[in-house]
Amino acid sequence: MKCLKILFLYIPLLFVSISFFWILILKWVPVWYTPLMAIRSVENIGDDTFKTHKKWMPLEKISPNMVMAVIASEDNRFMEHKGFDWVEISNALDAGKKGKRLRGASTISQQTAKNVFLTPSRSWVRKGLEAWFTVGIEYIWGKKRIMEVYLNVAEMGKGFYGAEAAAQNLFKKSAQKLTQRESALIAATLPNPLRRRADRPGPYVSTRATDIQDLMNKVARPEWLDNNKNVKQKKK
């Protein structure tokens, strides 16, 4: 009985310690591989055309247009919340009560926590772990690092992970040179990047990209973004 008490005491402590150091290390070390990348590789075994494309880029070498596009598309209040957008969560709950289709309320911080540390499975345990890691990266990494990691690991097409891989494979240029329109097109595909392509946009992606461009000029712009040594991008 005493052994069980010790076990139940030390397992949580061990998890907290390991996860803390894991988060701390990744505050500075690039994230080279994620659980989702491994899952996609397994899913595409036998597909000779499939290849994983990824290249880590510091935030200073990614166009500010791309930063603003994902904020406008995925998380309008990215600079205002502490990892969880309670306004969107409340709206999603209200929609559910009214019998409407469930709407997503995950922030960029939550998506980053899931992409880096967890699998995309759906369960209460996974959601609990996602919340834990979200709080951890918010307080240890900060917004700038969260955005940097997100723009390097997010799935942006079949086998494309991160802004640099998407820019190179979809628009034949570096992420640093992405225009406002190109960034908005990439962001428009993020809810389902395996079925939608930014370089060959259908009616939905084109319209959604236009809406994102409009929002890019309205959402809060991170102060640190203007300190980046990015070359000013022309709007198209």
- Cβ atoms of 65 and 180 within 8 Å: the answer is yes
Q: How do the domains of the chain map onto residue ranges?
A: 2-227
186 vs 9: CA distance, rounded Å: 46
* Structure tokens, 121: 């499975």
pLDDT 10s digits, 86-106: 888 787 777 666 665 555 679
Cβ atoms within 10 Å of 30's Cβ, excluding its own: 12
Question: Pairing state of beta strands 155-157 and 160-161?
Answer: antiparallel
Which pLDDT does position 115 carry in this prediction? 95
CA 219 vs. chain centroid, Å, equals 17
Tokens 């994102």 sit at which residue? 212
pLDDT 10s digits, 112-159: 999 999 998 888 899 999 999 999 999 999 999 999 999 999 999 999
Its pTM surpasses 0.75: yes
* Structure tokens, 223: 């102060």
Phi, psi dihedral angles at 54 (to 5 degrees): -155, 140
Residues of the chain with pLDDT under 50: 230-236
CATH number of 2-227: 1.10.3810.10
